[in-house]
Amino acid sequence: MNRAAISPSPARGPIDHEVRDRIVAAATEHFRLYGYEKTTVSDLAKAIGFSKAYIYKFFDSKQAIGELICAKCLHEIETDVRTAMDAVDRPPEKLRRMFKAIVESSLRLFFENRKLHDIAVSAATERWDAVCAFDGRIQAMLLNTLRQGRETEEFERKTPLDEMATAVFLVMHPYFNPALLQFTYDYAEDAPTHLSSLVLRSLSP
């Protein structure tokens, strides 16, 4: 699948930024009302009062607009996770906070508005660039926390660090990936506590 470019051409000035922001704001509201999959660029053009050709001057496709909306949502989740982890010092507690924050923040963003959830599911299913970048940053946060745990001798050192980080990420993934979360929703309230406890036991030296 061809990747959609989030920014197909360099912005030329404040007016360009203003128009792009207006398109994104209107698209977000339109997607919330009617759903991402059912909306076309023509629909957005009518809702905003622009021609379809004018929208294409700023975005290559509907997906390019969706990418930007998705990136903003994922940034909110990442901020919640970092805030939760920064509130504690010990690596095991950071890991617990990470599990809890990423699930709670994902549930809040992806399920408060079911129509906006459509964008998240498309992004996750089709592996949009925004999702891949987010997953990479979450894995980097995991890797750093696990490394800290080894330095403080609270985590075992036999398993290769990258292998350990990947395994923990895969345990967490079904509970924050929107395409999977709809199937694990019934367990989402208790999952962060049970799974983080299981992971931490496996990490004990």
Q: What is the pLDDT of residue 108?
A: 84
pLDDT tens figures, 15-39: 678 888 889 888 888 888 888 888 8
Note the pLDDT tens digit of each residue in 128-174.
999 999 999 999 999 999 999 999 999 999 999 999 999 999 999 99
* Average pLDDT of the segment spanning 81-99: 97
Residue 115 has a pLDDT of 65
Return all residues near 99 (Cβ < 8 A) that are at least 6 apart: 172, 175, 191, 192, 193, 195, 196, 199
- Count Cβ atoms within 10 A of the Cβ of residue 198 and give its class: 0-12 exposed, 13-18 middle, 19 or more buried: exposed
What per-residue confidence (pLDDT) applies to 5? 40
**Segments in 38-160 forming alpha helices (H):** 41-48, 52-56, 62-86, 91-111, 114-125, 129-151
Distance CA 162, CA 167 (A): 9
Asked which of 6-10, 57-61, 153-157, 166-170 is least confident by mean pLDDT, the reply is 6-10
Q: How many residues does the chain have?
A: 205
Q: Which of 98, 97, 117, 101 is nearest to 109 (CA)?
A: 117
Residue 12 has pLDDT above 50, yes or no: no
Q: Is the pLDDT confidence value at 183 over 80?
A: yes
Task: Determine the residue type at 101.
Answer: A
